[in-house]
Amino acid sequence: MTAPPLAVFGGTFDPVHIGHLRAAWEAAEALGAEVRLVPAKIPPHRPQPVASPEQRVAMLRAALAGQERLRLDLRELDRPGPSFTFDTLTSLRGEVGSTRPLVLVIGADAFAGLAGWHRWRELFTLAHVCVLTRPAQIPAMPDELAAEVAARHAGGVEALCAAPAGRVLDMVVSALGISATRIRALLAEGREPRWLVPQALLDDPRLLAAYRPPATGSGRG
């Protein structure tokens, strides 16, 4: 019997929010997979995170507590240099063997830029790609990427379970419209991002401290 797929969902998680978690959960349910959330140490295609690796790990641990389908994977934080997805998938493929389905879960906007990633064509030899889209969204792709994936499209989850790598599946997930940028802006203004982040992050004031304005003293001059 073939082992169930193992899925990988990377990002800066700066901070982790309900949009991340809901998308990962829906992918896990649809794929029948464990999903690893992999925080990047040095993201190659976006600015360095505001929160430190330790702070982001603490937020993720709090957010993921109490369930087992979504798990934290620290390999990119433990590895020196840029957090290339190719290196992460190579490492995971070495652990799970050559036959278990491995799935890279990625948002449609990020997928559109895949041709700019490190060794991007080789990603398909290591894993399937599950592209998360919003209802009625038609992912746009540059010609180079469209040509590469034209013969890789999967008609359903079954195709991903039947092979270890190489297929592309579009998956519609709930359109929550939550952004880490907006959450950081709210916190910088001294506002509370309730219903945008897991309650566990609000219950412990230390977890979101990296984004709040510094406390001002009231001492006399």
How confident is the model over 19-73, as pLDDT tens digits?
A: 999 999 999 999 999 999 999 999 998 899 999 999 999 999 999 999 999 999 9
How confident is the model over 150-176, as pLDDT tens digits?
A: 999 999 999 999 999 999 999 999 989
In a domain, 68, yes or no: yes
> CA 131 to CA 173: how far, in whole Å?
10
Buried b (16+ CB within 10 A) or exposed e, 92-128: bbeeeeeebbbbbbbbbebbbebbebeebeebbebbb
pLDDT of residue 19: 97
pLDDT of residue 138: 73
Query: Which of 129, 130, 131, 136 is CA-nearest to residue 175?
Result: 136
In a domain, 215, yes or no: no
CATH number of the domain to which 174 belongs = 3.40.50.620
> CA 130 to CA 167: how far, in whole Å?
8
> CA 183 to CA 193: how far, in whole Å?
6
Residue 70 domain boundaries:
6-207
How confident is the model over 65-95, as pLDDT tens digits?
A: 999 999 999 999 999 999 999 999 999 999 9
What is the domain count for the chain? 1
pLDDT of residue 136: 76
Across 90-189, where does the E strand assignment appear? 102-107, 128-133, 168-172
In a domain, 213, yes or no: no
